[in-house]
Structure 1
Amino acid sequence: MEIILKQDVKKLGEKDDILNVKPGFARNYLIPQGFAVIANDSNRKILAENLRQVQFKQDKLKKDAEVIAAALEGVTLSIGAKAGESGKIFGAVNPLQIAEAIKKIGHEVDRRKITFETDVKFIGSYVANVNLHKEVKVQVPFEVVAE
């Protein structure tokens, strides 16, 4: 019996997979639990439309990420921080400050997608890794200056 999985099932398959399973397993477990539906013509058309819509959304997100990445290429951000005489700043520069500096340029970036290779605790030049999409990543140089 052919079924379409509505969600991931361990040791069986992932969401939107079309599988052949024994009829009793499908009728008695997968379908009543809401894990699957029968793979008839109408359900196959619904699956194809859903996959097409998901692909369209993913392509749009990737294009938006590429536009932001192109805008961030060659830009050096300047982050102001209070610092002591030795060049050590009070506290540390965090991703929120980088996200706000990028927002001033005119692009919205989620702070949770910004990481640093090293802790930013001194005045100087650093690089922030911005993961805009699973396939689009950009490194943004920034400089920490004393206020």
Structure 2
Amino acid sequence: MKVILTQAVPHLGQAGDQVDVARGYARNYLIPRKLAVEATATHLRSLQQLKAQGRQREERLSQEADSVAERLRSLILTFARAAGDQDRLFGSVTSSDIAEALAEQGIRLDRKKIVLEEPIKAVGRHAVPVRLHRDTVASIQVQVVSESGSVVF
């Protein structure tokens, strides 16, 4: 029996896949749990429409991510923090700090998209990657200066 999966099913496929399964498996397990629907002409048409909408949405999101990436590449964020003798910060610059600074610049990003392995704890210039979309990664220049005013490059 041919069914269209509405959710990802392990060892069977992803949502939107059309698969051939045993009639009993479809009627007793997949369809009652709303994991799949029978592959009728109506369902196939609606699946095609959903896939087309998904492609358009994905393309739009990709274009938006590219435009934000261009803005981020030309941006340098500067943070002033208290530092010790060896240019080690007493605090740190975290992804939340970077997200707040970007929001002040008019760029709203979730802090989870900022790929910071560990907080920045040294004075200087750091390149911080930002994952904007599945295929789009931009790099922000973050400059950390000592509150006393010395800049290290």
TM-score by length of 2: 0.88
Map Cα deviations across residues 66-115 of structure 1 (whole Å, 9 max, x no partner).
11101112322211112234322112110111112222322112111112
Distance in 2 between residues matched to 1:76 and 1:42, nearest whole Å: 53
Distance in 2 between residues matched to 1:144 and 1:70, nearest whole Å: 22
2:82 matches 1:86: no
In the alignment, which residue of structure 1 is the partner of 2:36?
A: 36
TM-score by length of 1: 0.91
Rate the CA distance shift 1:37–1:75 in 2: closer, same or farther, 3 A: same
Which 4+ residue blocks in structure 1 deviate beyond 4 angstroms?
Answer: none
Q: Which runs of 5+ in 2 are unaligned?
A: 148-153
In the alignment, which residue of structure 2 is the partner of 1:65?
A: 65
* Root mean square deviation of aligned Cα: 1.6
Distance in 1 between residues matched to 2:36 and 2:86, nearest whole Å: 64
Farther-moved stretch of structure 1 (129-138 vs 87-96): 87-96
In the alignment, which residue of structure 1 is the partner of 2:107?
A: 107
Map Cα deviations across residues 45-64 of structure 1 (whole Å, 9 max, x no partner).
11111111222221111111
- 1:117 offset after TM fit, Å? 5.2
Maintained 8 Å contact 1:6/1:34: yes
Q: Which runs of 5+ in 1 are unaligned?
A: none
In the alignment, which residue of structure 1 is the partner of 2:74?
A: 74
- 1:126 offset after TM fit, Å? 0.8
1:86 maps to amino acid: Q
Distance in 1 between residues matched to 2:116 and 2:17, nearest whole Å: 38
Distance in 2 between residues matched to 1:118 and 1:21, nearest whole Å: 47
Map Cα deviations across residues 6-44 of structure 1 (whole Å, 9 max, x no partner).
111111111111011122221222112211111001001
1:112 maps to amino acid: K
Q: How does 1:17-28 map to 2 (within 5 A)?
A: 17-28=17-28
The percentage of counterpart residues that share the same residue type is: 34
Rate the CA distance shift 1:127–1:118 in 2: closer, same or farther, 3 A: farther
Q: How does 1:6-21 map to 2 (within 5 A)?
A: 6-21=6-21
